[in-house]
Structure 1
Amino acid sequence: MPTDMPPLNPPKRLLLGPGPSMVAPRVYGAMGKPIVGYLDPYCFQVIEEIQAGLRKVFGTGNEFTIPVSGTGSAGMEAAVTNFAEPGQTFAIFVNGFFSERISEMARRQGARLVRFEKPWGEIFGDAEAREFIQRENPNVVAYVQAETSTGAFQPGKAICEAAHEASAVVIADCVTSLGGMPVEVDATGIDIAYSCSQKCLSCPPGLSPFTVSPRAWGRLEKRATPVQSWYLDLKLLDGYYKEHKYHHTVPISMLYALHEGLALVEEEGLEKRWERHRRNHLALVSAIEKMGLEMHVAAGHRLWTLNTPRVPAGVDDTKVRKRLLDEYGIEILGGFGPLGGKVFRIGLMGSSSTEQNVALLVEALQKALAADRDQAAKG
């Protein structure tokens, strides 16, 4: 009988963009295991093991550490909607697309938004961060540790110290750092952190690792107004994860995936995993610079997981990326916002971060750039 739903046959891709990254084969295998119910004792066993693994990669002892059912944007919204309140001051360090998104979420919560802005790709120094927080005296401070739109890493210790002196809680976006770079929630002083499953943890998209400090949880307990989101209300979620009360149907197969992804992290060793990401990042940067390209983010401020070389003058980044995809099966993405057409965004995250993938990309990129220049010269 004819059907409009033919069997799936996805093209073979090497995912070297800003996410998703390549899924580890063992993770795919785990997702094929039989599911159980969301109140089954085995489901909670898997969740508890995930929580223990997440505490290790986050670098925290926080009791409330969970996999939020949703992508990294769900984690972001959970952080903002639970801790931003109408009329209270919400301070945000804005230097990329995802800090802009946090700003918009806080605005929709009715918070009094105050922004410290810098060009996309720059970071905030300790002294100026402290001065901003001391001047604004906020209730909540938010920053993006790993800015996926620019490739910049923002240190957070000075931000957290100043925020705590002002009795504020700190939200940090760790979407592109968790599992690939040191996040160090407790050592940095971060109160609320979130990430995603599809980047450095080598899983498909669908879960957002999330953690809350006891200090921030105490603030949440005293919240004066109801949380605007029922689905992302952390106190309701706590009823499920701690007391096993029904809240929503968790995605069991994705929990299996994250469990296996965290098992791979533990087997490799977290510090060895960080070093692999650092080593492959440096190899790519060296090769990029030998090709005559410049990096957008200054040395010392770059992510090891997401690289942003500038598009050379006269080169059409869209055509180069299309050629990489069509001829080599390699996905990288371009910039957007102020960086649209100005940078390539190249991810080396999780299973995608290998010496072989760096070599494959460098060779293909050289050929794609040469082809684009030849085509431009011919008119």
Structure 2
Amino acid sequence: MLDIASYDQINPPARLLMGPGPINADPRVLRAMSSQLIGQYDPSMTGYMNEVMVLYRGLFNTANRWTMLIDGTSRAGIEAVLLSAIRPGDKVLVPVFGRFGHLLCEIARRCRAEVHTIEAPWGQVFSADRIEDAIKRIRPRALLTVQGDTSTTMLQPLAELGAICRRYDVLFYSDATASFGGNRLDTDAWGLDAVSAGLQKCLGGPSGSAPVTLSPRFEEQIRRRKCVEQGIRTDTHRDGDDEMIYSNYFDLGMIMDYWGPERLNHHTEATSMLFAARECARLLLQEGLDNAIARHELHGAAMLSGIRGMGLGVFGDIAHKMNNVLGVVIPGGVDGEQVRQLLLNDFAIEIGTSFGPLNGKIWRIGTMGYNARKDCVMQTLAALEAVLNRLGFASPQGAGLQAAWDHYASVAEA
């Protein structure tokens, strides 16, 4: 029999989350989430939905009408975009430079796409010329990219790819979950047809809502596919461009009808998550998007200086790293997991491990969202230095902190 008395109220331990995400949510976002619920067709609720669309146009740097939220984690946004756009048999090209490129491949295969890849070693990115050469060779219907891949900490340049995609009539999509809000993303100027993101990294919110933006060109592709309401089917229904979208929940055409003036019922909006997403966007735009990106750049660079000051190596092509995540090479003879456990148990600080070819080789340290702050950087460097010295990795006492302080001072004086 269940002993309900043994279940206390939720009271998670206090942690400073300095990994690749999630991070500590901004207290103002948490307060917004605690607001009372209202009906999904209450004028106040639909008003908040409209405000969310306006606010995220500002963050995505776009005039796209269809800029909205998908209820679910960042992966929900990815699946909604790919399931709604890819038809069985479509060729898609995925430049893979980390774990999340492989994720795009997996989802595209589930959409029955013909998936083609090009690969770069983890820690590097692709040149626009290499991607164009692959597009010319493969002639895909869509280019599926990751802007910032937290598995490698790298930021793929996107600015030249939109013009290339237009030249070859290719749809251009990017997953910007890890980079959105802390690195430059110009949806319209760069010619992106669709972008999806999440709240739990640079936006300073919780996981559970996926902002997306869709160009008119992308909307047209979705509208040409019609949902066939004939129950569960395993065959493909084709009549020219009239084709079933296999997911009801992730059918962007239906979701657009829900967010649009028709307000056609599709699902019950995740009200508390919408409140969180609205507050994330409001706070970032109140700060100024350029200022927010500069803040992530400042504290990310200070962390980099501090890590180097401690005598630790950094992973990958630093010229192409994200502002908000750093890969730190685990020194020889040091147990990376032991370091992480001591940081967590003795300092209540979490940093990230890695996986795939980098498993056991690097830590991933994030400076993003609400935690892109000087005190978070300094606390993390001080704790990491103490743990490493305890485990026998000698570094000059305080060298990491001094290097970070020097970086902050040089920026202030500039």
TM-score normalised according to structure 2 size: 0.88
Question: 1:369 aligned to 2:397?
Answer: no
Q: Which amino acid aligns with 2:176?
A: C
Partner of 1:257: 276
Tell me the equivalent position of 1:82: 84
Aligned counterparts of 2:138 and 2:98: Cα–Cα separation in 1? 21
1:27 and 1:2 map into 2 onto residues whose CA distance is 31
Q: Which residue of 1 aligns with 2:307?
A: 288
- Counterpart of 2:233 in structure 1 is none
CA contact (8 A) 1:96 1:147 kept: yes
Structure 1 unmatched ranges of 5 or more: none
Q: Which residue of 1 aligns with 2:21?
A: 19
Report how far residue 297 of structure 1 moved. Answer: 2.0
1:8 match: 10
Q: In structure 2, how many angstroms separate the alpha carbons of the residues matched to 1:108 and 1:260?
A: 34
The equivalent residue for 2:108 is 106
For 1:372 and 1:36, how far apart are their aligned partners in 2?
Answer: 54
One-letter amino acid matched to 1:61 = A
Select which of 44, 47, 50 maps to 2:49. Answer: 47
| Residues 214-363 of structure 1: pairs in structure 2 closer than 5 A | 214-223=216-225, 224=241, 225-242=243-260, 243-363=262-382
Q: Aligned to 1:362, what secondary structure does the other structure show?
A: helix
Distance 1:190 1:2, change over 3 A: closer
- The answer as to whether partners of 1:196 and 1:205 remain within 8 angstroms in 2 is yes
Shift of 1:2: 5.9
Give the match's secondary structure for 1:21: coil
Q: CA deviation at 1:246?
A: 1.1
- Cα distance in structure 2, aligned partners of 1:169 and 1:58: 18
Residues in 1 aligned to 2:123 and 2:85: alpha-carbon distance in whole angstroms: 27
1:165 maps to 2:184: no
- Report if aligned partners of 1:20, 1:204 keep a CA contact under 8 Å in 2: yes
Highest Rg: 1 or 2?
A: 2
What amino acid sits opposite 2:264 in the alignment?
A: K
Runs of 4+ in structure 1 deviating by more than 3 angstroms, as ranges, are none
SS of equivalent residue, structure 2 residue 7: coil
> What residue in structure 1 maps to residue 141 of structure 2?
139
Letter in 2 for 1:272: N
- The DSSP-based 3-state class of the residue aligned with 2:115 is strand
Task: Name the SS of the counterpart of 1:186 in structure 2.
Answer: coil
8 A Cα contact 1:319 1:372, kept in partner: no
Inter-partner Cα distance in structure 2 for 1:330 and 1:316: 17
Counterpart code for 2:343: L
CA distance in 2: counterparts of 1:26 and 1:311, whole angstroms: 36
Q: How far has the Cα of 1:374 moved from its partner?
A: 6.5
Is 2:128 aligned against 1:126?
Answer: yes
Q: Following TM superposition, by how much is the alpha carbon of 1:282 offset from its aligned partner in structure 2, in angstroms? A: 0.7
Contact 2:59/2:285 (<8 A) preserved = no
Matched residue type, 2:208: G
Contact 1:75–1:208 under 8 Å retained in 2: yes
Find the counterpart in structure 1 of residue 95 from structure 2. Answer: 93
Choose which of 30, 50, 58 in structure 2 pairs with 1:56: 58
2:22 alignment partner, SS class = coil
- State the shift of 1:4 in Å: 3.3
Cα shift at 1:273: 0.8
- Tell me the SS of whatever aligns to 1:307: strand
Equivalent of 1:66 in 65, 68, 72:
68
Q: Secondary structure at the match of 2:95?
A: strand
Deviation for aligned residue 1:372: 2.5
Determine helix, strand or coil for the equivalent of 2:144. Answer: strand
CA RMSD of aligned residues (A): 1.4
CA–CA separation in structure 2 for the residues paired with 1:357 and 1:368: 17
Partner residue in 1 for 2:238: none
Distance 1:201 1:81 in 2: 25
CA distance in 2 between partners of 1:7 and 1:101 (Å): 36
Deviation digits for residues 150-196 of structure 1 (CA, Å, limit 9, x no counterpart): 10000112322222211110110100111111111111111110000
Provide closer, same or farther for how the CA distance between residues 185 and 330 of structure 1 changes in structure 2, counting only shifts above 3 A.
same
Letter in structure 1 aligned against 2:246: Q
Distance change >3 Å, CA 158–CA 359, structure 1 → 2: same
Task: Quote the Cα distance in structure 2 between the aligned partners of 1:374 and 1:288.
Answer: 13
Change (3 A) 1:16 1:8: same
Distance in 1, Cα, partners of 2:252 & 2:303: 40
Contact 1:333 1:345 in 2 (8 A): yes
**Range with greater deviation from structure 2 (218-227 or 68-77):** 218-227
Q: Is the 8 A contact 2:122 2:316 kept in 1?
A: no
* Secondary structure class of the residue paired with 1:296: coil
Distance in 1, matches of 2:295 and 2:91, equals 40
Aligned to 2:199, the other structure's residue is in SS state: coil
Contact 2:147 2:157 (8 Å CA) reproduced? yes
Q: Is the 8 A contact 2:334 2:393 kept in 1?
A: no
Residues 66 and 210, structure 1, Cα contact 8 Å, conserved in 2 = yes
In the TM superposition, what whole-angstrom CA distance separates every residue of 1:208-255 from its partner, at most 9, and x where no partner exists? 000110111112223432112110100000111002111111111111
Paired position in structure 1 for 2:412: none
Q: How many residues align?
A: 375
Alpha-carbon contact 2:180-2:197 (below 8 Å) kept = yes
2: distance between equivalents of 1:180 and 1:281?
A: 10
* 1:9 partner SS: coil
**AA of the residue aligned to 2:361:** K
Letter of the aligned partner of 1:238 in structure 2?
M
Identity level (%): 34
Mapped contact 1:39–1:246 kept (Cα < 8 A): no
